[in-house]
Amino acid sequence: MTTTLWWSEAELSIGRVGLASSERGLARLFLPVELPERDARLRRTFGPHELRPDDGRNDQARGQLEAYLAGQRGDFDLSLDPRGTPFQLAVWRAVAEVGRGRTATYGEIARRVGQPRAVRAVGAANGDNPLAIVVPCHRIVGSTGQLTGYGGGLPLKEWLLRLEGAMPRDDEGWAGWAARRAAAQPSLLIGPRSTRVFCRPGCRYTQRLSRVPATFGSADEAAREGYRACRVCHPV
Ligand SMILES: [Zn+2]
């Protein structure tokens, strides 16, 4: 069966992106560096398909992307039609639940889909995400919070994480970041992934971060993720 896709491109602040919607919703989003490989990737995802000029059904996605990239919108409200294996779909659902300003590791996503040993497969599925930005695969980081590969390129991943407040802005260090986040969310707790100890934002251990830490809204949440309370700042 031939899938019909409605195609448009949009010039956004991050560059030119491509959007393909099926009858059910947004089915594929191409970041600027992916756009040249469009035809091969569409064939791989959809098999035989017919590409028609967009009839307006991509408008909503384009508008929400523009607002999101301008910092005017926190998340997306769109009909989506991601195509993948049951495992990929489960991974993408778990990734979609990682909220703005937060991050998760591949191992955490593997546990959340009930396959704690499938860390590499989770990484592959995350890399095959057909709806970058909308399904926020950029929020998935390495086991100690290092920024690992991104289909749209690492500079874009870092830019998106700064935009969302998961990393310091250009003009502030991690201490400034922790203070800003705590001002917005007084219950915030910060867990450096290398030590898996969680702290109050003002603790000296949150002042010398170099990688993206976990953030929690409560000590219970931190404990559920396997983090221990700091003995210096006593967050519980
Ligand atoms: Zn501490």
CATH code for the domain of 200: 3.40.10.10
Confirm whether 100 is domain-assigned: yes
Q: What is the mean pLDDT of the chain?
A: 95
End position of a domain, from candidates 136, 163, 190: 163
- Looking at the structure, tell me whether residues 92 and 33 fall in a common domain: no
**Same domain as 63, residue 18:** yes
Same domain, 108 and 157: yes
Residues 158 and 186 in one domain: no
Query: Is residue 74 situated within a structural domain?
Result: no
Of 57, 54, 76, give the one whose Cα is nearest residue 67.
76
Together in a domain, 23 and 65: yes
- Does 77 map to a domain? no
In a domain, residue 151? The reply is: yes
The range of the structural domain enclosing residue 159 comes to: 86-163
Is a pLDDT exceeding 90 seen at residue 221?
yes
How do residues 160-200 score in pLDDT, each as one tens digit?
999 999 999 988 999 999 999 999 999 999 999 999 999 99
Q: Which of 112, 113, 115, 140 is nearest to 126 (CA)?
A: 140
Please report whether residue 168 resides in a domain: no
Is 59 within the bounds of a domain? yes
- What whole-number distance in Å separates Cα of residue 190 and Cα of residue 207? 11
pTM: 0.94
Q: What is the pLDDT of residues 40-71, one digit of tens each?
A: 999 999 999 999 999 999 999 999 999 999 99
Same domain, 159 and 182: no
- Cβ of 208: how many Cβ atoms within 10 Å? 10
CATH number, domain at 26?
Answer: 3.30.160.70
Tell how far the Cα of 216 is from the centroid of ligand 1, in angstroms.
14
Report the number of distinct structural domains present in the chain: 3
- Strand 228-229 relative to strand 140-141: parallel, antiparallel, unpaired? unpaired
Q: What is the pLDDT of residue 206?
A: 85
DSSP, collapsed to helix, strand or coil, labels residue 83 as: coil
pLDDT digits 0-9 by tens, 194-218: 999 999 999 988 888 989 999 999 9
Residue 115 lies in a domain: yes
Distance 230 CA to ligand 1 centre (A): 4
Query: Domain for residue 205, yes or no?
Result: yes
137 part of the active site: yes
* Domain CATH for 151: 1.10.10.10
| Structure tokens given for 29 | 């989003």
Ligand 1 centre to CA of 145 (Å) is: 18
Domain closes at, from 140, 163, 186:
163
Judge if 17 and 52 occupy the same domain. Answer: yes
Q: Is 183 exposed, middle or buried (0-12, 13-18, 19+ CB in 10 A)?
A: exposed
Instruction: For residue 97, report the distance from its CA to the centre of ligand 1, in Å.
Output: 27
